[in-house]
A and B are shown apart, each in its own frame.
Chain A
Amino acid sequence: MQTRDKSGSVSRRQFVAAGVIGGAVLASGCKTAGNADWEFFTPGEARTLAAICDQIIPADDFPSASQAGVVNYIDRQLARFYRPHRDAYREGLQKAQKLSRGSHSKELEALAAEQQLQMAFLIEKEQAEFFEMVRRHTFEGYYGSPRHGGNRDAVSWRMLGLSEPPLLGRAQYDLRKADRK
């Protein structure tokens, strides 16, 4: 089903789906945390969540959580299967901002990387249940199937050295030599 968002372009959901099918070329055009039209989050909430997710899976020579689409994954699911977690996210993100302003007088996403890491430890301690939920969902988004908006271009699978697209129908072992002991 083709739906158009307000600006008349193909909706982000379809765009992401197209990215998955099209592979690397299209995927690089997927929207990131900064400019997406979110299904559930406000742009501010998305930035805050991205800051937390990127401490759970930071960038090294492979993308961070938000770069791989984890915030998109969580956002999409909050409009679908994770609907019951909406309040937990809304309130949890507000509390996290409060913690950040309290200790650094700044928004979480405006902090330097090192301070964000400190904040992540603080959130884990002060908002244990919320942090655990975000941690779980971040891993799902990063290591799960690309079709849900995360693991963009199967980047985590490539990182782990798994063939992508997968090789199927191989006969790597000779059936005649099967161990029949």
Chain B
Amino acid sequence: MKRVNAVVIGAGAAGGIVAKELACAGLSVVLLERGRWNTAADCRKDDLRNQRTTVLGNAFGPEEEGNPRVWVDARGQANTALPNEGAYQNNAACVGGGTLSYGAQAWRYMPQDFRMRSTYGAPAGSSLEDWPISYDDLEPFYDKAEWEIGVSGDYSGTPFKGPRRRDLPMPPLPPGKEFGILEPAARRLGLHPFHIPMARNSIPYNGRGPCMRCRWCVGFACEVDAKNGSQNTVIPVALNTGNCELRTGCMVKEILADERGRARGVSYFDDRGQLQEQPADVVVVSGCAVESARLLLNSKSNLFPNGLGNRYDQVGRHFQGHHYTGAVGYFDFETYDDIGPGATIAISDYNHGTPGLCGGGMLANEFIRLPIHMVDRMPPGTARWGLAHKQAMRQWHKQSIVIMGPTQQIPTAAGRVTVDPAAKDKWGIPVARFEGNSHPHTFEIGDKQAQRAEAWLKEAGAIHTSQMTHKTEIVSAGQHQAGTCRMGNDPHGSVVNRFCQVHDVDNLFVIDSSVHVTNGGFNPVLTIMAIAYYASDALVRTWKGTGLRS
């Protein structure tokens, strides 16, 4: 196959941006995606089969058959996980990746999120660490992501944020009923509520119209294309340059290394199952934390017997996501207005600064709920089934509010992605295996966050409340998965350098959430996007025609 300047693996949040930035800089790019490109006809609103409620499977991949993973439980027992199960830690497999169907909360991390170890010290047994880059390094690229992808919202209500050069390009969507109930309550508690930043059009932007405020948002593709992902922003721009070719249905088997220890391209199964080789000057891995780590570990050769980038056994470690906790409040008046996306109001008062806790997280009201989401969220003491349960659904479905948030996980070196010695996918490639857990302090922070959510609901007038807390057996990574190819200055303790370049393979990059040293107390996507712009910028600046300037 014809050699190209760059092959980018994965057309998600990061891969789409990298492809666009490189193609616009004049590099020839092949963008490989294992899933397909969905169309408007795939936007069906199925409460049981979408990317969030997966009881009948994932709407946007991967398919249930032929894509297993393995997870090791607390007793050390290995179990198979299927894509519709929580333990699978699925994100998505399609053009756009998670951004086709996400809720689209587009947060900047706070400056402290980049120096967690300096701020708190590392709890014993944790691998809490500082990033080698700062909020200030990323700020221009956060800005670029907000304007190129398109973010609505308004941070002006909160003092808990990093400095920013300008406002978001779009105002927030008009507030719904829950905002009106929760906002004064938060103020009475001395908190600083504000409008959630969302990669969603509130006004016409980028050639597409605004949100039509339907009930089916997070987990679904947007029927009116008002949700901004890589599939409707950067990827079309990349293709329009004429420098980028997108190949869907292509599963990369391994990254190929030459005898000098440099990447020379990839081998992949095309959409007809044929093994192909794509030679390239530069290889960029953007498969998201689980699949990127798996691919590096599966790319073995004489020079790299344990996989690429894995000379010091770092690939796959510090696996993390978010620990979600919160509370449900039940009111003696209607709280439900049937206006999507539902999540409108947040506080970041509790992300940092609580004595005794290493961080915290943002709290926000939940996305608009579908009835199926509420069946096990009735007030404490409600029967789990029967007439009383049915009547509770009728009484409370429109009289409840859910507040929750992503507690920043404290990573461990033992919480990791490896490759299973036995299980293979339908292409015969060894599959990802999950071992270990987050640091136990994570759960203490999560419990505190649940109490805070409950207090907010009580102040807002809830007559019953119940906390949502739990302790997981494995790392809860899911769609917020991160951390498996840590960014750092020390090759013994990280996989990539501050420019997302693998330490000992200078033409191999990992650009996605894998490089997150810690994952903030916020939804990670805007940071993934900012890093993609930042790392692409560095790559383009060192590009010298057919290779990188050393």
Question: Does B175 contact A173, Cβ atoms closer than 8 Å?
Answer: yes
Q: Give the residues in chain B near A77, CB-CB below 8 Å.
A: 56
Question: Does A174 contact B48, Cβ atoms closer than 8 Å?
Answer: no
From B46, B156, B214, B398, A168 is in contact (CB under 8 Å) with: B214
On chain B, the number of residues with a Cβ less than 8 Å from chain A's Cβ atoms is 46
Of chain B, the residue at the smallest CB distance from A170 is B213
Q: Is A179 on the interface with B (CB-CB < 8 A)?
A: yes
Q: Is A140 on the interface with B (CB-CB < 8 A)?
A: yes
Question: Does B397 contact A166, Cβ atoms closer than 8 Å?
Answer: no
Q: How large is the interface on A (under 10, 10 to 19, 20 to 34, 35 or more residues)?
A: 35 or more
Q: Give the residues in chain B near A140, CB-CB below 8 Å.
A: 48, 55-56, 372
Listed stretches A10-18, A23-31, A93-101, A141-149; interface member: A141-149
Instruction: Name, among A62, A162, A179, the residue most crowded by chain B CB atoms within 10 Å (CB to CB).
Output: A179
Q: Is A159 on the interface with B (CB-CB < 8 A)?
A: yes
The answer for the CA separation of A44 and B203 in the assembled complex, in Å, is: 56
Interface residues as binary, A133-162 with B (CB distance below 8 Å gives 1, 0 otherwise): 001101110011101100000001101111
Of chain B, the residue at the smallest CB distance from A179 is B175
Instruction: Compute the total of residue contacts between A and B using a CB distance below 8 Å.
Output: 110
Q: Is A72 on the interface with B (CB-CB < 8 A)?
A: no
Instruction: Name, among B172, B215, B390, the residue most crowded by chain A CB atoms within 10 Å (CB to CB).
Output: B390
Q: Is B537 on the interface with A (CB-CB < 8 A)?
A: no
Question: Does B338 contact A163, Cβ atoms closer than 8 Å?
Answer: yes
Q: Give the residues in chain A near B275, CB-CB below 8 Å.
A: none
Question: Does B175 contact A166, Cβ atoms closer than 8 Å?
Answer: no
Listed stretches A33-41, A53-61, A102-110; interface member: A53-61
Of chain A, the residue at the smallest CB distance from B393 is A160
| A144-B47 CB under 8 A given contacts A161-B398, A170-B213, A181-B156 | yes
Least CB distance, B306 to chain A, in whole angstroms: 36
Interface residues as binary, B212-252 with A (CB distance below 8 Å gives 1, 0 otherwise): 11110000000100000000000000000000000000000
Question: Does A143 contact B172, Cβ atoms closer than 8 Å?
Answer: no
Q: Is B154 on the interface with A (CB-CB < 8 A)?
A: yes
Q: Is B355 on the interface with A (CB-CB < 8 A)?
A: no
From B48, B154, B387, B394, A144 is in contact (CB under 8 Å) with: B48
Least CB distance, B371 to chain A, in whole angstroms: 4
Question: Does B386 contact A143, Cβ atoms closer than 8 Å?
Answer: no
Instruction: Name, among A139, A163, A172, the residue most crowded by chain B CB atoms within 10 Å (CB to CB).
Output: A139
Interface residues as binary, A107-141 with B (CB distance below 8 Å gives 1, 0 otherwise): 00000000001001000000000000001101110
Q: Is B157 on the interface with A (CB-CB < 8 A)?
A: yes
Question: Does B175 contact A178, Cβ atoms closer than 8 Å?
Answer: yes
Question: Does A157 contact B371, Cβ atoms closer than 8 Å?
Answer: yes
Q: Give the residues in chain B near A148, CB-CB below 8 Å.
A: 48, 56
Interface residues as binary, B37-69 with A (CB distance below 8 Å gives 1, 0 otherwise): 000000001111000000111000000100000
Least CB distance, A144 to chain B, in whole angstroms: 4
Of all A-B residue pairs in the complex, the 9 with the closest CB atoms, nearest first, are A173-B174, A143-B371, A144-B48, A56-B385, A139-B375, A169-B212, A145-B47, A160-B397, A178-B174
List the interface of chain B (C-beta within 8 A of A): 45-48, 55-57, 64, 154, 156-157, 171-176, 179, 183, 194-195, 202-203, 212-215, 223, 337-339, 370-372, 375, 384-387, 389-391, 393-394, 397-398
